[in-house]
């Protein structure tokens, strides 16, 4: 039963399991105590810190363990913002950061800080120029992920770090998606990561803060982990996290090369096997194991359910799969289609046979969903009028786009279709559909109860 969502959580690496079990016997005591059980725990903690620091590429005394990657991000952002309060209250983030970074930015705004979002191109990548423009004299911190968690695009961290260094602004890198594949290049200042993303156990994050970065931990005092991460150390999990990071790294280059080929195969085959599909993210500068595509006229949640029934566990950034009714902020920032979105992230050890089996199942699954939604090949209808209005109010993704596709043949080339929709996703998916189909998107205007989206038929 192939599990293709390692970007959410990777199954436990065998080395993590071994180390966890061994340290349940040796590492349950309080490492701050002076007796033998405490000293043993302290030795394990110190060794884990050394190993993790080596993998991160920092000094052991620059690295602390947190209860999760989210805690590492929240603590890192809050600590630098507070430490550099006198410089200013300006924070720079990319528009496609993980929600933990964006939520930390929202909290900063709620406390009176200011935030600039650096935009991305259609592959999801920022540019160093974007950061150069965003950082200023009052910028306390800039944040950039090492690679995007939804589309796999690798960010130009080293270039952005240079820009930040020139401006005297520390750069926090969220390395959650990439740390298992290798150290983050460039002169970052703060780094956050999460063990369960590389096959370590849940319950462990890493926070590295370079010496010299002003850092003021927030919240109640706690002497543990250099005052940067309160609470009793989750030592067995920390030991397992460090051991598995080392093990994963030893296999990383070979596994990356192997998975890269499998992902390239998915990227190539999906567009041939499935009509009306959009493979997103940078095809080359990307994580080795991750590919994301969106299928027109498909409800993401139903497709995930179909694939799950067929034995494949994948994720989706479609709004249809979440309770919020808003699509993934990453796809929105990229300006690409969000409906029928599927993220495939292969865990280490995924076989070519598993990928082939997925490619065999996928076309039927998509076709099945489309059939049930009543999507048929658009009839070459005779144009009815120069302008047609489609009332899709009350309909949810992917219905507004399906209605638009049905209506486009009702106007001649040069004619316009106006879609009325109160579905937030239409704002993203109607322009994306136009881009895929080669029609011109004319813009939107508010109407009672929703928004009118205007499209000119051009082909």
Q: Which stretch binds a second copy (CB under 8 A): 150-158, 289-297, 307-315, 374-382?
A: 307-315
Neighbours of 170 (CB within 10 A): 27
Query: Binder to a second copy among 15, 81, 100, 358 (CB under 8 A)?
Result: 100
Q: How far is the CB of 81 from a second copy (least distance, A)?
A: 12
33: tokens are: 């105590």
From CA 64, how far away is CA 326, in angstroms rounded?
35
Q: Which stretch binds a second copy (CB under 8 A): 17-25, 131-139, 250-258, 431-439?
A: 17-25
Q: How far is the CB of 362 from a second copy (least distance, A)?
A: 15
Q: Is 454 in the site for a second copy (CB under 8 A)?
A: no
**At 416, which helix (H) or strand (E)?**
strand 416-421
- The distance between the two most distant Cα atoms of the chain, rounded to a whole number of Å, is 87
Site for a second copy in 201-240 (CB under 8 A): 201-203, 205, 219-222, 230-237
Query: Binder to a second copy among 305, 410, 437, 454 (CB under 8 A)?
Result: 305
- Asked whether 80 and 215 are in contact (CB, 8 A), the reply is yes
If phi over 0 gives left and psi between -120 and 50 gives alpha, with beta otherwise, what is residue 23?
Answer: alpha
Among residues 335, 357, 360, the alpha carbon closest in space to that of 346 is found at 357
Q: Which stretch binds a second copy (CB under 8 A): 273-281, 313-321, 371-379, 431-439?
A: 313-321
Query: Binder to a second copy among 34, 377, 382, 459 (CB under 8 A)?
Result: 34
Q: Is 8 in the site for a second copy (CB under 8 A)?
A: yes
Q: Is 152 in the site for a second copy (CB under 8 A)?
A: no
From CA 75, how far away is CA 207, in angstroms rounded?
8
Query: Binder to a second copy among 57, 87, 88, 103 (CB under 8 A)?
Result: 103
Q: How far is the CB of 237 from a second copy (least distance, A)?
A: 6
Q: What would you report as the CA-atom Rg of the chain, rounded to the nearest whole angstrom?
A: 24
Question: b or e along 393-409 (b: 16 or more beta carbons within 10 Å of the residue's beta carbon)?
Answer: bebbbbbbbbbbbbbbb
Q: Is 321 in the site for a second copy (CB under 8 A)?
A: yes
Q: Is 304 in the site for a second copy (CB under 8 A)?
A: yes
Q: Is 308 in the site for a second copy (CB under 8 A)?
A: yes
Residue appearing with tokens 């302008």: 387
Q: Decide whether 369 or 408 has the Cβ nearer to a second copy.
A: 369
Query: Binder to a second copy among 15, 44, 58, 70 (CB under 8 A)?
Result: 70
Give the strands of the sheet with 171-174, arranged side by side.
63-66, 205-209, 190-194, 171-174, 139-145, 90-94, 114-118
Q: Is 310 in the site for a second copy (CB under 8 A)?
A: no
- Asked whether 259 and 181 are in contact (CB, 8 A), the reply is no
Q: Decide whether 24 or 165 has the Cβ nearer to a second copy.
A: 24
Q: Which stretch binds a second copy (CB under 8 A): 34-42, 131-139, 287-295, 327-335?
A: 34-42
Q: Is 357 in the site for a second copy (CB under 8 A)?
A: no
Burial of 270 (0-12, 13-18, 19+ CB in 10 A): buried
Q: Is 377 in the site for a second copy (CB under 8 A)?
A: no
Q: How many residues bind a second copy (CB under 8 A)?
A: 62
Q: Decide whether 33 or 272 has the Cβ nearer to a second copy.
A: 33
Q: How far is the CB of 8 from a second copy (least distance, A)?
A: 5
Can you point out the beta strands (E) in 224-308?
Answer: 277-280, 290-295
Q: Give the DSSP per-residue string, 291-355.
A: EEEEETT--HHHHHHHHHHTT-B-B---GGGSSS----HHHHHHT---TTEEEEEPPTT--HHHH
Active site residue 320: yes
Q: Decide whether 37 or 389 has the Cβ nearer to a second copy.
A: 37
Q: Is 74 in the site for a second copy (CB under 8 A)?
A: yes
Distance of CA 340 to the CA centre of its chain: 17
Q: Is 348 in the site for a second copy (CB under 8 A)?
A: no
Q: How far is the CB of 97 from a second copy (least distance, A)?
A: 12
Of these residues, 58, 143, 295, 320, which one is catalytic?
A: 320
From CA 378, how far away is CA 30, in angstroms rounded?
68
**At 64, which helix (H) or strand (E)?**
strand 63-66
Q: Which stretches of the chain bind a second copy, using CB under 8 A?
A: 1, 3, 5, 8-12, 17, 20-21, 24, 28-30, 33-38, 67-71, 74, 78, 99-100, 103-104, 106-107, 194, 196, 201-203, 205, 219-222, 230-237, 301, 304-305, 307-308, 312-315, 321
Any idea which residues carry the catalytic annotation?
320
């Amino acid at each position: 039963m192939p599990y293709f969502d390692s970007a959410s959580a990777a199954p436990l690496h065998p080395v993590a399991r071994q180390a966890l079990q061994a340290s349940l016997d040796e590492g349950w005591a309080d490492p701050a105590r002076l007796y033998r059980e405490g000293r043993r725990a302290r030795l394990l903690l110190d060794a884990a810190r050394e190993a993790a620091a080596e993998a991160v590429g920092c000094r052991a005394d620059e690295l602390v363990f947190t209860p999760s990657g989210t805690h590492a991000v929240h603590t890192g952002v809050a600590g630098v913002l507070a430490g550099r309060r006198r410089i200013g209250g300006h924070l720079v983030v990319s528009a496609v950061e993980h929600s933990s970074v964006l939520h930390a930015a929202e909290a900063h705004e709620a406390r009176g800080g200011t935030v600039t979002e650096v935009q991305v191109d259609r592959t999801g990548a920022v540019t160093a120029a974007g950061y150069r423009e965003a950082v200023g004299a009052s910028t306390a911190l800039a944040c950039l992920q090492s690679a995007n968690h939804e589309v796999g695009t690798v960010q130009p961290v080293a270039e952005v770090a240079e820009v930040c260094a020139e401006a005297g602004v520390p750069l926090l890198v969220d390395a959650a998606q990439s740390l298992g594949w290798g150290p983050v290049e460039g002169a970052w200042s703060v780094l956050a990561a999460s063990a369960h993303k590389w096959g370590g156990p849940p319950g462990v994050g890493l926070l590295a803060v370079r010496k010299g970065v002003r850092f003021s931990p927030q919240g109640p005092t706690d002497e543990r982990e250099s005052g940067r991460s309160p609470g009793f150390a989750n030592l067995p999990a920390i030991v397992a996290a460090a051991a598995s990071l080392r093990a994963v790294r030893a296999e990383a280059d070979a596994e990356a090369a192997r998975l890269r080929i499998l992902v390239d195969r998915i990227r190539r085959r999906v567009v041939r096997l499935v009509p009306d599909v959009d493979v997103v993210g940078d095809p080359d500068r990307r994580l080795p194991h991750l590919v994301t595509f969106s299928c027109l006229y498909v409800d993401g949640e139903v497709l995930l359910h179909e694939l799950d029934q067929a034995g494949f566990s994948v994720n989706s950034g479609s709004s249809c799969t979440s309770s919020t009714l808003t699509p993934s902020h990453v796809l929105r920032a990229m300006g690409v289609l969000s409906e029928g979105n599927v993220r495939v992230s292969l865990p280490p050890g995924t076989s070519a046979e598993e990928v082939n089996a997925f490619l065999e199942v996928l076309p039927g699954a998509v076709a099945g969903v489309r059939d049930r939604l009543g999507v048929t090949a658009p009839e070459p209808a005779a144009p009815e009028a120069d302008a047609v209005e489609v009332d899709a109010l009350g309909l949810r993704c992917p219905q507004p786009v399906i209605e638009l596709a049905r209506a486009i043949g009702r106007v001649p080339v040069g004619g316009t279709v106006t879609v009325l929709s109160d579905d937030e996703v239409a704002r993203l998916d109607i322009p994306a559909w136009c881009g895929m189909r080669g029609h011109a998107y004319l813009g939107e205007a508010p109407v009672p109860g929703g928004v009118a989206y205007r499209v000119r038929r051009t082909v």
